[in-house]
Structure 1
């Protein structure tokens, strides 16, 4: 059985904004999930403060669950330069939360010129965490694993960008510096073949987002895969079997807790 995370948005953006993440991580726990993905875009500034995230991290520890810190910010700006400020902020938030992963969008990566800069910034953050005093929360002395996700936009959603990124890191001696969140459904927004992407990127995938897609063109939207969904099953067969899988499709609002339990069981065994 694979570890399964529930992405907060599966319960509905409005529900999370109304009740907060802590309420629904308990529902995720009751449904058998191992982890819960916290979404920055579903929080106001107060809830996303470092002190508030430390409090949320305590709720995770009490529930014996691990977390993912997800931000809509991109690792690379539109001009292709590393957005070091966004990376530092995302890591600080993830450390306060005690997250296992910190997930960003890839953004405008377009070449290998900034691979060394990324390595330098991550080395700086790792050294800072290692030197943290004993008065700092324990999770803030560890560097969460940085993963980049394929998004639904052209920028940051093309297979060539990801193969280029990992090739550049390898060429510069930084292979394994960061990993990937592979979103099975998102490739369809950018017209890429998910199975081709799965074969090409499998060595770098450390977290998987699972969802099916309905609609065409810009009017696509995520939905729950059928039990025998051929794309989902084929993609999972090509991706690492020992990495966590995240539920990122909406549950039925009339049976949120039941859907959580049902799909956690299904995805863990898929």
Structure 2
């Protein structure tokens, strides 16, 4: 991969070249394997759901590192299984990108794992970002440029340090000033865990967004929980999407539970594809 593929996000369309069939009219829609539940994945592995996704006409899969067995090393084999099913890959690791003003120690290993998977993009948490020196930003620029992964992204998670507007905006704006092609995964639901306004976040961060995590949210016992989005939420999501580059890939990250999982997955993919 040449560094020309790592230019900052443009105003028009965001694509990952290794994700299939993405256009502004029919953006790529993926499924995070976590949508099928930790119990199922623990029993059968993430590769077990790939044929369901292919049959449901998903464009890709989000492989979750936290759901891999302890000591897992066969990233190449798992990536090949994804490709055999015609699925592009996003690699999700809950690891932090930053440890205060330093890059987190595990970053290089996570990039290597993403490379072995053949992932189009890797998604990390922000971590604790307190600003960084130009030299540190240049180190990140070099790490990203040396990786065949097309996008390195940070996600708004469910913590105050990594899931609120101010630190995310500070990091992404600093990246922009440093000519570092760091992008954002915008998790629609996670703002409810940190008490932030998703619309305000989209207005401020929309130009950095390269990937959208979609999950409905319901309140139960005083806590938010991920859920299948209702029609009202889908209407709100269309407003959010207007702040992002057209054709931005998006992923299901809400529970997929039904007697016919393939049919239900296909239905939910269609809902997100038409946003």
TM-score bucket (shorter structure): 0.7 to 0.9
What is the Cα deviation at residue 36 of structure 1?
Answer: 0.2
Runs of at least 5 residues in structure 2 that lack an aligned partner in the other structure: 1-25
Determine if the alignment matches structure 1 residue 61 to structure 2 residue 97. no
Give the alignment's TM-score, normalised by structure 2. 0.85
SS state at 1:220 partner: strand
1:117 aligns to what?
136
Which of 88, 96, 101 is the equivalent residue of 1:81?
Answer: 101
What is the Cα deviation at residue 143 of structure 1?
Answer: 3.3
RMSD of aligned Cα (Å)? 1.8
Determine if the alignment matches structure 1 residue 177 to structure 2 residue 181. yes
1:201 aligns to what?
205
Determine if the alignment matches structure 1 residue 30 to structure 2 residue 49. no
Considering fraction of residues, name the structure with more helix: 1
SS state at 2:122 partner: strand
2:161 aligns to what?
155
Which of 108, 114, 128 is the equivalent residue of 2:128?
Answer: 108
Determine if the alignment matches structure 1 residue 246 to structure 2 residue 251. yes
Task: Measure the CA separation in 1 of the matches of 2:191 and 2:133.
Answer: 25
SS state at 2:273 partner: helix
Task: Measure the CA separation in 2 of the matches of 1:231 and 1:96.
Answer: 37
SS state at 2:195 partner: coil
Task: Measure the CA separation in 1 of the matches of 2:134 and 2:228.
Answer: 36
1:91 aligns to what?
111
Task: Measure the CA separation in 1 of the matches of 2:42 and 2:138.
Answer: 35
On the 8 A contact 1:115/1:169 being kept in 2, the answer is: no
On the 8 A contact 1:224/1:249 being kept in 2, the answer is: yes
On the 8 A contact 2:122/2:151 being kept in 1, the answer is: yes
- Paired residues in the alignment total 249
Task: Measure the CA separation in 2 of the matches of 1:114 and 1:188.
Answer: 32
Q: 1:95 to 1:164 in 2, by over 3 A?
A: same
What is the Cα deviation at residue 34 of structure 1?
Answer: 0.3
Deviation readout 1:115-170 (Å, 9 max, x if unpaired): 6414314414644x5xxxxxxxxxxxx23411000001111011011111122223
Deviation readout 1:162-187 (Å, 9 max, x if unpaired): 1111222233x32x521000001101
Determine if the alignment matches structure 1 residue 213 to structure 2 residue 238. no
1:135 aligns to what?
none
What is the Cα deviation at residue 231 of structure 1?
Answer: 2.5
Q: 1:233 to 1:146 in 2, by over 3 A?
A: same
1:15 aligns to what?
40
Give the alignment's TM-score, normalised by structure 1. 0.86
What is the Cα deviation at residue 218 of structure 1?
Answer: 6.0
